[in-house]
Structure 1
Amino acid sequence: MEELIRALLLADSGVSGLVGTTVSYGQHPAGKPLPGVLLTVISDTGGYLVNKPGGLDQARIQVDCDALSYREAKQISRAVRAALSGHAGGGIKGVFHASTRDSHKGGSNEVSQPYRVSLDFHITYSI
């Protein structure tokens, strides 16, 4: 499922037009400048029938859209939401936008700290 979500974002011209190929799991690639999209699996649970595992799994993914300006982070988040929300195809049975949060990391060098818009998605899938 993780590979499918990343591939969907990379294949979307709205997302790739803003971040290129910088769509990663775990952490932003060292040496790559912002903007970028960071993916984190928050939860991933298997589906169950009465007495055995079922065919549909449920996951929640957080998508962090990082940029050096709030405007750019928001543009990326809108492109990500358009690419993922409501998607169904292949092993992915449905992607549903759950929430959005805006943040900015402050500190002693606040100008160089990224703006972040985080989106949570619930995903039903069968792989």
Structure 2
Amino acid sequence: MEESFRAALLASGAVTALTGDRIDFGANPQDTACPRLVLWTISDTGGLLLSGPDGISRGRVQVDCYGESYGAAKRLSRAVRAVLDGYSGGGFQGVFHAGTRDSQDSEAPFRVSLDFITVFTS
């Protein structure tokens, strides 16, 4: 699922025009240029039938959009949301926006975090 999720973002010209290839799961080195995306699998559970697994996983992915300014982080978050909300393909039956949060701490760039619910056929 992670490879397909990242591939969907890398296939978007609107996203990569801002990030280049700085789109990674679980890695957020402090010296990485902005804007950038850091992806986190928050949950991933397989569906079950009485006969066993149904081959469909349901999960939640957090997409952290980093920018040197609030405006840059927000623009990136809007590009990501435009690509992923309602997305299907690459094994995904559906990807749906579930929430957004803004944040910044004193030692990091601005961040907008998006949560997406995923339904993926494995």
Q: Is TM > 0.5 for Structure 1 vs Structure 2?
A: yes
Aligned-partner Cα distance in 2 for 1:75–1:4: 23
Q: CA deviation at 1:56?
A: 1.1
Question: Percent of pairs identical after alignment?
Answer: 49
1:20-99 superposed matches below 5 A: 20-29=20-29, 31-99=31-99
Aligned-partner Cα distance in 1 for 2:7–2:119: 17
TM-score, normalization by structure 2: 0.94
- Correspondence for 2:13: 13
Which is worse superposed, 2-11 or 31-40?
A: 31-40
TM-score, normalization by structure 1: 0.91
Which is worse superposed, 50-59 or 61-70?
A: 50-59
Q: CA deviation at 1:105?
A: 0.9
Aligned-partner Cα distance in 1 for 2:27–2:113: 14
Q: CA deviation at 1:90?
A: 3.1
Q: Which runs of 5+ in 2 are unaligned?
A: none
| Greater Rg by CA | 1
Aligned-partner Cα distance in 2 for 1:87–1:93: 8
- Correspondence for 2:118: 123
Deviations 1:44-71, CA, capped at 9 Å, x for gaps: 0000112311121101000000011000
Aligned-residue RMSD, C-alpha: 1.3
- Correspondence for 2:106: 106
Aligned-partner Cα distance in 2 for 1:37–1:55: 28
Aligned-partner Cα distance in 1 for 2:60–2:54: 18
Q: CA deviation at 1:29?
A: 4.5
Aligned residue-pair number? 122
Larger strand proportion of the pair? 2
SS in structure 2 at match of 1:81: helix
Aligned-partner Cα distance in 2 for 1:104–1:59: 26
Deviations 1:3-41, CA, capped at 9 Å, x for gaps: 001011011011001111100011224643111000000
Q: Which residue identity lines up with residue 125 of structure 1 in the other structure? A: F
Q: CA deviation at 1:72?
A: 0.3
